[in-house]
Structure 1
Amino acid sequence: MSAQEHDYQVRSRVERYSGPLFTLVTDEVTMPGGGTAARDYIRHTGAVGVVALDDAGRVVLLRQYRHPLGRRIWELPAGLTDVHGEGLAEAAARELAEETDLTAGRLDVLVDLHTSPGCSTELVRIFLARELGEVPAAERHDRHGEEADLTVHRTDLDEAVAMVLSGEITNALCVAGLLAAARVRDAGWKGLRSADAPVSSATTP
């Protein structure tokens, strides 16, 4: 830490709400120049997302209802890292299978993403999945809730990027994953990290 950087110390913490997905807390934090300020934020369990590319260069997108927005939006296969003892790559493979009935012969790390660092600790690791296969019909996941209504689409990656730039795709995971996938594809798949790459200390809260 440089001489000019302030050490933000937590003087007190109050839990406002605790649920299965996240906890809402208020911290009293020391501020530069003296004094403290209250900061509300969400401690989130974290998640994974998957950019699944088939041999024709098409990306697998979901159309899913999101109640806070009151409408269906375009998304990547994604989900919470809420299974005890499950690694990030395992979680990504599970979500891909549950939401799209697909398997991946190869997984690489595309990007790590803080979705909203001003109010949440949520960290999402987005994987690139290739060498896609089908989950056997007898082993497919029985979807519930909003997932029972989602639809699965395959779209050319460049067309999906155009949907990002036109504002049609707004989901943060989807935007970041599609742009990263297009970049590494154009670079000859250079810059990818292995599926078991550790999460950098710079990204963990």
Structure 2
Amino acid sequence: MQWKLISSTYLYRDNWFTARRDRCVTPSGKIVDPYYVLEYPNWVNALAFTEDEQVIFIRQYRHALGKTILELPGGVIDDTDASPQVAIERELREETGYTFQRIEPLCQIAPNPSTQSNLCFGFLAVGGRKTHPQSLDPNEEIEVVLIDKDQLRELIVRNEIWQALHVTTLLYGLLHTGDLQWTDIKNKS
């Protein structure tokens, strides 16, 4: 089922966004032209628990949506990060000031595989302790918000977490820890 790439033309290149036009051929010989692909860097995010089992969220303004929303800590995997694990450790420290006793991988997902080339890596971080001040990028304004597990389940069930990649990590993480059962979701619908 895999297509063969005939040619690619870059239409726009920048640090955070690259667009290209591909010309492809399917196994049956059909030419697909144009096929537009958006190249983004890979991302990381984490369901992060403090030592006293509060969930660490961040609140920030998202201009494309025009809203201030709750999200999981995370961000872009930098070229200097040796791995997604190193990237999430850095992002957690920068955005929240917390370091963790244990961080483990939960999921690897494709944000939109029909048009985007990147991946998002979700992690579970436990035993968080505030050890540093935030170290934000110049354009970041992030508020750290601690939420208990009951509040978190309600936010999920009421569809109040808007970032789809973060919802995926939340669900994988809460199912992994046993803090959410499918019956919790089914009983609220």
Normalising to structure 2: TM-score of the pair?
0.86
Any conservation in 2 of the 1:65–1:71 contact (CA below 8 Å)? yes
The amino acid of 2:167's aligned partner reads V
The amino acid of 2:174's aligned partner reads A
Count the aligned residue pairs: 178
User: Structure 1 33/143 Cα, relative in aligned 2: closer, same or farther at 3 Å?
Assistant: closer
Cα displacement (A) at 1:141:
1.6
After superposition, the C-alpha distances for 1:27-74 in whole angstroms (9 at most, x for unaligned) are 111135432112101122101111111233321111111111111111
Aligned pairs (5 A) from 1:50-69: 50-69=46-65
For residue 135 of structure 2, what is the aligned residue in structure 1?
141
Q: Is 1:20 equivalent to 2:9 in the alignment? A: no
Q: 1:104 aligns with which of 100, 103, 106?
A: 100
For residue 82 of structure 1, what is the aligned residue in structure 2?
78
Question: What do you get for the CA RMSD once the two structures are aligned?
Answer: 1.8
Aligned pairs (5 A) from 1:1-205: 6-31=1-26, 33-37=28-32, 38-137=34-133, 140-145=134-139, 147-148=140-141, 150-186=142-178
The amino acid of 2:138's aligned partner reads H
Q: Name structure 2 gaps, 5 residues minimum.
A: 180-189
Aligned residues with identical type, % of pairs: 28
Q: Name structure 1 gaps, 5 residues minimum.
A: 1-5, 188-205
Cα displacement (A) at 1:123:
0.5
Q: Which runs of 4+ in 1 moved over 3 A?
A: none
Cα displacement (A) at 1:151:
1.2
User: Structure 1 144/85 Cα, relative in aligned 2: closer, same or farther at 3 Å?
Assistant: closer
Q: Distance in 1 between matches of 2:3 and 2:20?
A: 16
Q: Distance in 2 between matches of 1:117 and 1:91?
A: 22
After superposition, the C-alpha distances for 1:140-181 in whole angstroms (9 at most, x for unaligned) are 425521x22x21111123432331232211202220111111
Any conservation in 2 of the 1:102–1:135 contact (CA below 8 Å)? yes
User: Structure 1 161/176 Cα, relative in aligned 2: closer, same or farther at 3 Å?
Assistant: farther
The amino acid of 2:143's aligned partner reads T
Any conservation in 1 of the 2:42–2:76 contact (CA below 8 Å)? yes
User: Structure 1 7/113 Cα, relative in aligned 2: closer, same or farther at 3 Å?
Assistant: closer
Q: Distance in 1 between matches of 2:155 and 2:18?
A: 33
Any conservation in 2 of the 1:115–1:173 contact (CA below 8 Å)? yes
User: Structure 1 68/111 Cα, relative in aligned 2: closer, same or farther at 3 Å?
Assistant: same
Secondary structure at 2:154 match in 1: helix
Any conservation in 1 of the 2:53–2:127 contact (CA below 8 Å)? no
